[in-house]
Structure formats: structure tokens, C-alpha cells
């Protein structure tokens, strides 16, 4: 029976299925692996099952006697895995696309509505007992319906976001993507692809990020392009924390250079820049993009499908390296 090491606790239904087919070592304490423990996993398991918050950089692979032949990632993003180092050790890497697209788009919509309509501020006022009643000038926010939404990264999640925004809220859609998007894909939401990120940020009332993380997109959002946004515009990020220069974003929020931000991901999470805690125009969630029972179970079962294919001698459907 193949040995499998799981780096965090997974939904019970998935863990039970793993136990039925593999010799499984679970992380009962649910404490993130450090480098030494991740190296132990690579040396003592046939398959290592990390999450998107685990770090498997080149240094992790600088060990002898690696036993693992597959890293089956629980999550769609894999920038936290040095795939070149994995390949050098003949390790296959897989991910879990598709199954989290809807729920992540739902959270992006949630953040957009919350920050525009000041829902976080309103709830805090209620809970503190400071609400004095309805009045014409109280908690006035921004209308969402009919406003222009710019989407950065038009893969499955970006397209799901566009469908909700355009068909649900009548929002014109602008798209910035690293490659040309097929006309029929754009037509599904009457979307227009713009030439570059600067142009998208300049024209949009809301900008929502759905692009990969990693070094290639580090500080994609910075002081220069934040300055191009309308003072009434909002930024939404459910992609990866490293794509935003957080110091520049804090400055833009505190100076009211932009109207607000809705954030589900952060640099160095769970540690956050404490300055954001005092910003009323920032709505923040603790990385809840895929956090539904249905999606978290589906992600786990997708990992199982990939492992089953790999150990049967077939190419996993979600192989990324």
C-alpha cells in the first residue's frame, strides 16, 4: 500500500477515502510543516499532499533519498512549488483546477459588494451598539450595478466572475490577460480585452484579480498603476497576496487615492500588515475563496483522482509538471 503524507487536515470525507486506499499519515495537529518536516515527507512517502500555503522551494528538495514520486497539490495555484526542482527528482506535480472556480468567484463578488456598500463598516457599527438609526447621509456607498468591472486573468475563475457581474449586475466587462482570449469566450459576457493592465485600471470602476501568483506577478499592483485608478474605484484580490505591493496599497487607501479594497489573500499570511486593521475602506477575509463544504471536498477528491491515475501508470488529468 502506497504511503501518503498529508500536510494539513482535510475534510473528513476525503481523509476517510484516503485511509481506505493508502497508508496515510495525517497532520493531526494541523500545524503548518516547516522545511525539516516537509523534507521528512519527501523522504518517507510515495506521495506528498500539500496545500497552497505550504512552501516547497528549491531548498526543500536539497536532500538525498527522496522517495516521493508525486506531489498532489490541494489547490489550483502551484507557485509555492518549485516545479523545476521537482522535475529534477522525477517528481510529478498535480493541482485541482475547475472545482473551486464558482466558490472563489462568489467570494470575489462578496468582497466587491461589501466594500462598495460599506457592509463591513455597517456591521461593526451595529455590533458596537453605535447605530443611531436611518438618515439620508449615513453609510453612503457606491452603486455596483452598471459599473465597469476590469478582470485581470481570464481563466476559469475570471470567467466565472464575469458571468456573475455582467449577467447578474449588468456590469460592462474589461479583460486583461497574458494571452489573447478567444472571441467566443469574450462574447459570453460581451467582454472587451484591453491591451495592458494600466489601461484596464484606468478605465475600471472595480478591478478584480484572478491571475497566478509567483515571482512573475510579484508586485503586479504597485504605486504607479494604483495612481491610474479613479478615486471612486475599488480593488478586489482573491488571487495571491504577492501580486500586490501592500505598502503601496495602504498608501492608496489611507490617502483616498482609491475608494477601497476587498482582500481575501495577503503576503505572508496569516501574518498581516497591522496598518490594514485600522482602514475602514478595506474589507478583509481570511482566505475563504474555496471555503465551502462542497468545494473543499471536491478539491480533495480531485487529488485522489490524480493520485489514482499516477499510481496506475497513467498521466494525471491535472498534471502541471
Same domain for 108 and 151?
yes
The pLDDT assigned to 186 comes to 98
Same domain for 192 and 212?
yes
Catalytic residue ranges = 240, 269, 287
Same domain for 222 and 142?
yes
Same domain for 50 and 151?
no
The pLDDT assigned to 197 comes to 98
| Per-residue confidence band for 300, with pLDDT thresholds at 50, 70 and 90 | very high
Alpha carbon of 67 to those of 57, 177, 179: distances in Å? 17, 38, 37
321 part of a folded domain: no
| Per-residue confidence band for 200, with pLDDT thresholds at 50, 70 and 90 | very high
Q: How many residues does the chain have?
A: 321
What are 233-246's pLDDT values in tens digits? Answer: 999 999 999 999 99
Q: What is the CATH number of the domain that holds 181?
A: 3.40.50.720
Same domain for 130 and 233?
yes
Relative to beta strand 3-6, strand 23-25 is parallel
| Per-residue confidence band for 222, with pLDDT thresholds at 50, 70 and 90 | very high
78 part of a folded domain: yes
Encode the chain in three state secondary structure: CCEEEECCCCCHHHHHHHHHHCEEECCCCCCCCCHHHHHHHHHHCCEEECECCCCECHHHHCCCCCCCCEEECECCCCCCECHHHHHHCCCEEECCCCCCHHHHHHHHHHHHHHHHCCHHHHHHHHHHCCCCCCCCCCCCCCCCCCCCEEEECCCHHHHHHHHHHHHHHCCCEEEECCCCCCHHHHHCCCCEECCCHHHHHHHCCEEEECCCCCHHHCCCECHHHHCCCCCCCEEEECCCHHHECHHHHHHHHHCCCCCEEEECCCCCCCCCCHHHHHCCCEEECCCCCCCCHHHHHHHHHHHHHHHHHHHCCCCCCCECC
| Per-residue confidence band for 69, with pLDDT thresholds at 50, 70 and 90 | very high
- Which single residue is written with the C-alpha cell 487536515? 9
Section 3-32 average pLDDT: 97
Same domain for 105 and 11?
no
Q: Are residues 129 and 152 in contact, defined by beta-carbon separation less than 8 angstroms?
A: no
Find residue 209's DSSP bridge partners: 152, 237
The pLDDT assigned to 99 comes to 96
316 part of a folded domain: no
123 part of a folded domain: yes
Percent of the chain with pLDDT over 70: 100
112 part of a folded domain: yes
Average of per-residue pLDDT values in the chain? 97
318 part of a folded domain: no
320 part of a folded domain: no
Between CA 318 and CA 310 the distance in angstroms is 10
Task: Return the C-alpha cell found at 223.
Answer: 504605486
Same domain for 148 and 208?
yes
Of 239, 234, 264, 238, nearest in space to 249 by CA: 234
Same domain for 156 and 56?
no
Same domain for 88 and 110?
no
The pLDDT assigned to 124 comes to 96
- Which single residue is written with the C-alpha cell 482609491? 258
| Per-residue confidence band for 262, with pLDDT thresholds at 50, 70 and 90 | very high
What are 106-132's pLDDT values in tens digits? Answer: 999 999 999 999 999 999 999 999 999
Between CA 208 and CA 206 the distance in angstroms is 6
The pLDDT assigned to 157 comes to 97
Same domain for 114 and 133?
yes
| Per-residue confidence band for 255, with pLDDT thresholds at 50, 70 and 90 | very high
The pLDDT assigned to 128 comes to 98
Cβ atoms within 10 Å, residue 273: 14
Section 52-60 average pLDDT: 95
| Per-residue confidence band for 250, with pLDDT thresholds at 50, 70 and 90 | very high
What are 264-286's pLDDT values in tens digits? Answer: 999 999 999 999 998 999 999 99
What are 165-187's pLDDT values in tens digits? Answer: 999 999 999 999 999 999 999 99
Domain total in the chain: 2
Domain span holding position 10: 3-97+292-311
- Which single residue is written with the C-alpha cell 493508502? 22
Section 141-152 average pLDDT: 98
Same domain for 110 and 252?
yes
What are 27-52's pLDDT values in tens digits? Answer: 999 999 999 999 999 999 999 999 99
The pLDDT assigned to 141 comes to 98
The whole-model pTM stands at: 0.94
The pLDDT assigned to 161 comes to 98
88 part of a folded domain: yes
Same domain for 60 and 148?
no
Amino acid at each position: 500500500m502506497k504511503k501518503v503524507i498529508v500536510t494539513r487536515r482535510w475534510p473528513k470525507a476525503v481523509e476517510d477515502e484516503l485511509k481506505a486506499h493508502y497508508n496515510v499519515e495525517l497532520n493531526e495537529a494541523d500545524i503548518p510543516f516547516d522545511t525539516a518536516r516537509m523534507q521528512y515527507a519527501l523522504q518517507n512517502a510515495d506521495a506528498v499532499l500539500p496545500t497552497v500555503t505550504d512552501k516547497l522551494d528549491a531548498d526543500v528538495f536539497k536532500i538525498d533519498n527522496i522517495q516521493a514520486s508525486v506531489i498532489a497539490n490541494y489547490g489550483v495555484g502551484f507557485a509555492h512549488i518549485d516545479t523545476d526542482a521537482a522535475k529534477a527528482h522525477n517528481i510529478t506535480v498535480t493541482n485541482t483546477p475547475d472545482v473551486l472556480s464558482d466558490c472563489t468567484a462568489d467570494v470575489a463578488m462578496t468582497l466587491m459588494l461589501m466594500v462598495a456598500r460599506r457592509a463591513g463598516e455597517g456591521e461593526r457599527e451595529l455590533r458596537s451598539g453605535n447605530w443611531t438609526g436611518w438618515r439620508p447621509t449615513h453609510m453612503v456607498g457606491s452603486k455596483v450595478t452598471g459599473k465597469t468591472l476590469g478582470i485581470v486573468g481570464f481563466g476559469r475563475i475570471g470567467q466565472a466572475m464575469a458571468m456573475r457581474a455582467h449577467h447578474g449586475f449588468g456590469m460592462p466587462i474589461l479583460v486583461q490577460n497574458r494571452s489573447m482570449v478567444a472571441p467566443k469566450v469574450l462574447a459570453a459576457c460581451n467582454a472587451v480585452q484591453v491591451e495592458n493592465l494600466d489601461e484596464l485600471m484606468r478605465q475600471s470602476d472595480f478591478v478584480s484579480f484572478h491571475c497566478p501568483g509567483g515571482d512573475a506577478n510579484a508586485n503586479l499592483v504597485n504605486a504607479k498603476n494604483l495612481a491610474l485608478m479613479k478615486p471612486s474605484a475599488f480593488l478586489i484580490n482573491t488571487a495571491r497576496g504577492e501580486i500586490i505591493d501592500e505598502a503601496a496599497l495602504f498608501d492608496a487607501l489611507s490617502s483616498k487615492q482609491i475608494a477601497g479594497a476587498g482582500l481575501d489573500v495577503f503576503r505572508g499570511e496569516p501574518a498581516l500588515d497591522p496598518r490594514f486593521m485600522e482602514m475602514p475602506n478595506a474589507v478583509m477575509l481570511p482566505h475563504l475563496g474555496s471555503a465551502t463544504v462542497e468545494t473543499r471536498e471536491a478539491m480533495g477528491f480531485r487529488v485522489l483522482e490524480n493520485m489514482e491515475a499516477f499510481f496506475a501508470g497513467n498521466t494525471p488529468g491535472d498534471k502541471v509538471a
